[in-house]
Each structure stands twice: as C-alpha cells, then as structure tokens.
A = this chain, B = another copy of it.
C-alpha cells in the first residue's frame, strides 16, 4: 500500500530512456566506442586543441569522468595529449588520424541510429521531444549553478 506509479516519475523515465539508447547504440553504432566517447571526439573535431576541462564542459562531464574518458580514448590511440606551453596545468587535446576516421565512420552510423530510435515519433513530435527534454535539463542544471546574473556584482 502507498506505493507510487513509477511511470509518472521523470527520473525513472530518464533512466529507462538512457538504457534503451545504450542498448541500441551497442547494436547499431559500436561496441568499442561509447556515446560519451563519441561526444568527446565530436567536440575535438569542431575545436581541436581544447583542454580537458573545457571538453568536459562541452559534453557535460565532470572533471573526474572526463579524465577517464580521455584516458581511454588516448589508450586506443584516437587522441593526443600535449602539455600546454602557455599554461603548465593544462593538457591540449587533438584527434589523431585514426580518431578522425573513427569519428567520421560513427557519425554516419549515429545518424542512422537516431532515425531508428526516434521512429515512433512524427517529425513534429521529435521537435517537441528535443525541446521538452532540453528545457527540463537546462532548468535543472541552472538550479545548481546559481546562474550568471546579467550584471556581474562584485
């Protein structure tokens, strides 16, 4: 008694959605490279030479997690880490040729996978799907970062 209906709990739904995506990714895209790893490759294609922390920020991974992901990609020879000569704390990241090739290959497969994944929704529903999730996620993130006010107060 007093049990709750989990299908109306956004957290439970979010988890199921992510699991479903994970499984489809494994069968349709790659068993080697994961979706977060692809996100990192993609960021470095757009902005080569970024440092680790910034890449993490772009793809939404904290400093610990991004370190692990980068380390795996480095071990697989998909990217290079070079100490920043301007700032000895940073490492600058850059894809290798193999990394670029891998990104290209996975981009095609990812597009196919996304189509299959979203097939149950009409085009308008897909737009709505993105919009609703983005708004909820953005708002929740904003709750943590007290938010940059329009005018910086000292």
Q: A-side interface residues toward B, CB under 8 Å?
A: 1-4, 6-25, 27, 35-36, 39, 42-43, 45-46, 59-60, 103-104, 107, 110, 114, 116-121, 125, 128-130, 132-141, 143-144
Bound state CA distance, A2 and B41, in angstroms? 11
* Minimum C-beta distance from A13 to chain B (A): 5
> Do A10 and B118 have beta carbons less than 8 Å apart?
yes
Copies in the complex: 2
Bound state CA distance, A3 and B46, in angstroms? 5
> Do B6 and A39 have beta carbons less than 8 Å apart?
yes
Which residue on B lies nearest to A8, using beta carbons? Answer: B130
Bound state CA distance, A7 and B118, in angstroms? 14
Bound state CA distance, A129 and B22, in angstroms? 20
Contacts of A7 in B (CB 8 A): 130, 134
> Do B13 and A140 have beta carbons less than 8 Å apart?
no
> Do A141 and B20 have beta carbons less than 8 Å apart?
yes
Could you say which of B35, B42, B132 contacts A132, with CB atoms under 8 Å apart?
Answer: B132
